[in-house]
Chain A
Amino acid sequence: MKRVVRFSAVFMCMLAMTFLGVRGVQAEVGVTDDTILLGSFQDMSGPGAYLGKLCTTTMKVWMGYVNNDLGGIHGRKLDLVVEDNKYDPVLTKTAFNKLVNQHKVFALVMVYGSTPCTAVKDDIKREKIPVFPTMATVQSMFDPMNRYLYWYACSDEDNAIMMVDYIVNDLKPEKFKVGVCYQDDEWGKSALKGLDLACKKYGLKYAAAGYKRGSKNLNTQAMRLKAKGVTHCFYAGYAPVYAALLKEADKIGWKPVFFGDYVTVDPRSFMAGDLADGHYHFSNLGLRSEGVPGWKRLESLFTAAGAEKMLNVPLLPLLWNPMLMLTQALQDCGRDLTREKLIDAIDSIRDFDTGGLGKIEYSPTTRKGTHYYRILQCDAEKKIFVPMTDWRQPSIVWGSKERPASK
């Protein structure tokens, strides 16, 4: 009998130790004693494959920087799994399921694309998995707020308001009419909404001309805006189409001042040659031509990784800034890393230093990471963009009474 009792006691102790041991090691999904497993879905073979390659390379450079230069995060090395989503909503859903349920990643990093991200928006909430950040341009990524989904991009709604602010308060032309040429989707519609808000505030009228996604000839839109007497025109869309619009405008003798959104801060805008000169652009990022410390660090890291070609992409800080912030947040969490702790850590970071690459900030009540922008002017001869203003916010900020956040 004694032997049975002794055996049972030993067995119970072993069982308890096993369970306790398992709990001690498995602190959080995707986190082991020596690794933090991150995941991402990228378009590696679809229409946005160039962006997929850019993101994947940036993540690898960042992981090399954290694992080798910083020695990991509290003794843990970062590991990454990337699934190809081909920019397809259903494949994104599949990739998301694979990352969460099969690879069991700790968090998702650097995802983009309005359609793919919208497809998994509800799943992110249900699985309570941090996504840091999404660069999808649609406002639904941060409004209404989802605790687990962070947004870091550039809002065309903000930019369109800033254009009218800049015309009225800085340029002060005697007579002017504002207009917008926009890609006819959620991205373009956010520019339209911003212009509408600003024009209501200043008591102005505006003209609008939308074009279908994929269009390359904007002759009709240019004619329409010219006929409406537009002198200052906001453009929301891709850089090559912007260059085409400049050429069309020149062809029909329409000479407005253009304000290209953040996507037009791209070398492809120079395809229009001298016609791009003097026009304005918006950006929430630091420029390479400024030689700020953040860009210098990027230059050394990307060159060491053999990815110096990526340095020609002006949007590179858009990918890099959140990774830097994530590094600090992971460090702030300490050894006992959990998803919830990571989110609290991100929300509590203030005045984060990106080395002049742009501002990024969140709080427990907002997932919109971009609040400040600069207005740039294009110097077509030197093929650079020159900052014309300091960092500023639109006069109607998101979350205000005139521009309330969704409940």
Chain B
Amino acid sequence: MAVTRFCTRSYRQDLRVFPSPAAKILLVLGGLFLLCLPFMAGRYVVFVLCVCGVSVIGALGLNILTGYTGLISLGHAAFMGIGAYTAAVGAAKAGLPFLAALPLAGIVAAAAGAVVGVPTLRLKGLYLVVTTLAFQFIVEHVIYHWESLTQSDRGISLPPAEIFGLKLDTYESFYYVIVILAVATALFTKNLAMSRTGRALVAVRDRDIAAEIIGIHLAKYKILAFVVSSFIAGVAGALYAYLLGLIGPDHFTFNQSVLYIAMIIVGGMGTVLGSIIGALFMVLLPEVINAVSGPLASAYPILAPRIGGISVTVYGLVIILFLLLEPNGLFGIWIRIKRYWKPWPFTY
């Protein structure tokens, strides 16, 4: 069947991860750009990019749970914390290598996710939010008070990651690990969304009773969503721990959970690209505000004492404006731009 971008595509083509050659070319160019970035950017920029990468992985994990399955979680940072502490304790105390600590972190977080997932069979909406919130506080409390394991406020120092004898002790070297895992997570999420499982998750989100009637096992898919999401969160947490080199209780607080929710909302829920853009936006926005506010404070000294407050206001305002004016998030804007250029130079 002859197919153009203006015609109806076949089912097989519709299931492709990258529907057009242009998308593939863009992906290759993007990949090359990401590979070259550490050579062009300074150390500070590479570190910020690493944080972006970890946040992208974390946001993709939450997107599976909240975006695709419709289960709102305020305990995402707790799963990341479980992963981070598993990796930290494994690496620092048991001498586990990076390649073993990383999947172990995901598995332990996934196990916790399975436990938290069980109440979701009976709870949804605000009740589920409160349950995950409680889980967040329990994990924070345990991290803080299980001193013999977590070293409480002092935190745990991690040795640099090592892969096959290659020490990843610079941000530049660790950047590649994060990029590879972020791309792998994005591909996995995209594939999952297009698979039978992904469609089942969306069906659960859109109308759970109807989904059950057509034969979707609600319990199985809800717990599966929790397990997969928390596995990814656990891996993101472990990467975070290795990136920072030291983790403490304040790294995985309720605020972090809210930040991840904000990432997927601002980016656009239920889309892979939305999670990626949202994570980048939320991590880079404070950096941009800081970059602008510094010279502003120098130029107008009267503003200097208030610049912190102004930065927070701008940060909050940007998020509120997004929610009000663009409920589909940055992904919605991207789609509109694409649609605008599709018939160009014609108006419709």
Contact with B along A162-189 (1 / 0, CB 8 A): 0000000000000000000000011000
Partner of A114, one of B153, B294, B305: B153
Partner of B44, one of A43, A49, A97, A185: A97
**Min distance, Cβ A145 to any Cβ of chain B, angstroms:** 16
Partner of B244, one of A44, A45, A93, A138: A93
With a cutoff of 8 Å between Cβ atoms, the chain A residues found around residue B311 in the complex are 44-45, 84
The reply to whether A97 and B307 contact each other, CB–CB distance below 8 Å, is no
The reply to whether B305 and A53 contact each other, CB–CB distance below 8 Å, is yes
With a cutoff of 8 Å between Cβ atoms, the chain A residues found around residue B250 in the complex are 88-89, 115
Interface of A is mostly: helix
Tell me, in angstroms, the Cα distance from A102 to B155 when the chains sit together: 27
> B157 in the interface, Cβ–Cβ < 8 Å?
yes
Contact with A along B20-60 (1 / 0, CB 8 A): 00000000000000000000001111011001000000000
> A83 in the interface, Cβ–Cβ < 8 Å?
yes
Tell me, in angstroms, the Cα distance from A100 to B42 when the chains sit together: 11
With a cutoff of 8 Å between Cβ atoms, the chain B residues found around residue A83 in the complex are 290, 294
Contact with B along A19-51 (1 / 0, CB 8 A): 000000000000000000000000111000100
The reply to whether A119 and B308 contact each other, CB–CB distance below 8 Å, is no
Interface of B is mostly: helix
Tell me, in angstroms, the Cα distance from A44 to B308 when the chains sit together: 5
With a cutoff of 8 Å between Cβ atoms, the chain A residues found around residue B246 in the complex are 118-119, 121-122
> B131 in the interface, Cβ–Cβ < 8 Å?
no
The reply to whether A94 and B48 contact each other, CB–CB distance below 8 Å, is yes
Known contacts A89-B244, A93-B244; A122 and B157 CB within 8 A of each other: yes
The reply to whether B294 and A81 contact each other, CB–CB distance below 8 Å, is yes
Partner of A97, one of B47, B155, B293: B47
For A93, the closest partner residue in chain B by CB is B244
Tell me, in angstroms, the Cα distance from A81 to B154 when the chains sit together: 28
For A185, the closest partner residue in chain B by CB is B153
The reply to whether A138 and B153 contact each other, CB–CB distance below 8 Å, is yes
With a cutoff of 8 Å between Cβ atoms, the chain A residues found around residue B152 in the complex are 185-186
> A133 in the interface, Cβ–Cβ < 8 Å?
no
Range of interface residues on chain B? 20 to 34
For A43, the closest partner residue in chain B by CB is B308
Tell me, in angstroms, the Cα distance from A148 to B157 when the chains sit together: 18
Interface residues of A in 112-155 (CB under 8 A from B): 114-115, 118-119, 121-123, 138, 140
> A393 in the interface, Cβ–Cβ < 8 Å?
no
With a cutoff of 8 Å between Cβ atoms, the chain B residues found around residue A84 in the complex are 290, 293, 308, 311
Interface residues of B in 278-300 (CB under 8 A from A): 286-287, 290, 293-294
Tell me, in angstroms, the Cα distance from A233 to B47 when the chains sit together: 47
Contact with B along A69-92 (1 / 0, CB 8 A): 000000000000111101011110
A interface size (C-beta, 8 A): 35
With a cutoff of 8 Å between Cβ atoms, the chain B residues found around residue A97 in the complex are 43-44, 47-48, 171
> B304 in the interface, Cβ–Cβ < 8 Å?
yes
**Min distance, Cβ A157 to any Cβ of chain B, angstroms:** 15
With a cutoff of 8 Å between Cβ atoms, the chain B residues found around residue A255 in the complex are none
With a cutoff of 8 Å between Cβ atoms, the chain A residues found around residue B144 in the complex are 185
Contact with A along B50-93 (1 / 0, CB 8 A): 01000000000000000000000000000000000000000000
For B45, the closest partner residue in chain A by CB is A102
> A341 in the interface, Cβ–Cβ < 8 Å?
no
With a cutoff of 8 Å between Cβ atoms, the chain B residues found around residue A138 in the complex are 153-154
Known contacts A89-B248, A98-B44, A102-B42; A115 and B307 CB within 8 A of each other: no
**Min distance, Cβ B159 to any Cβ of chain A, angstroms:** 11
With a cutoff of 8 Å between Cβ atoms, the chain A residues found around residue B155 in the complex are 118-119
With a cutoff of 8 Å between Cβ atoms, the chain A residues found around residue B48 in the complex are 94, 97
Tell me, in angstroms, the Cα distance from A43 to B250 when the chains sit together: 15
For A307, the closest partner residue in chain B by CB is B305
Contact with A along B158-178 (1 / 0, CB 8 A): 000000000000010000000
**Min distance, Cβ A209 to any Cβ of chain B, angstroms:** 16
For B304, the closest partner residue in chain A by CB is A56
The reply to whether B308 and A94 contact each other, CB–CB distance below 8 Å, is no
Interface residues of A in 352-395 (CB under 8 A from B): none
> B327 in the interface, Cβ–Cβ < 8 Å?
no
> A57 in the interface, Cβ–Cβ < 8 Å?
yes
> B190 in the interface, Cβ–Cβ < 8 Å?
no
The reply to whether B287 and A94 contact each other, CB–CB distance below 8 Å, is yes
Tell me, in angstroms, the Cα distance from A309 to B244 when the chains sit together: 38
With a cutoff of 8 Å between Cβ atoms, the chain B residues found around residue A53 in the complex are 305, 308
**Min distance, Cβ B175 to any Cβ of chain A, angstroms:** 13
> A101 in the interface, Cβ–Cβ < 8 Å?
yes
14 extra interface residue pairs, beta carbon distance < 8 Å, beyond A89-B250, A185-B144: A44-B311, A49-B308, A53-B305, A83-B290, A83-B294, A89-B244, A90-B244, A91-B286, A101-B42, A115-B250, A118-B153, A119-B244, A122-B157, A140-B154
The 7 closest A-B pairs by CB, nearest first: A44-B308, A45-B308, A186-B153, A101-B43, A97-B44, A45-B312, A115-B250
Contact surface of B with A, Cβ cutoff 8 Å? 42-45, 47-48, 51, 144, 152-155, 157, 171, 244-246, 248, 250-251, 286-287, 290, 293-294, 304-305, 307-309, 311-312
25 contacts between A and B (CB under 8 A): A43-B308, A44-B307, A44-B308, A45-B308, A56-B304, A81-B294, A84-B308, A88-B250, A89-B250, A89-B251, A90-B251, A94-B48, A97-B43, A97-B47, A97-B48, A97-B171, A98-B44, A101-B43, A102-B42, A118-B153, A118-B155, A119-B244, A122-B246, A138-B154, A186-B153
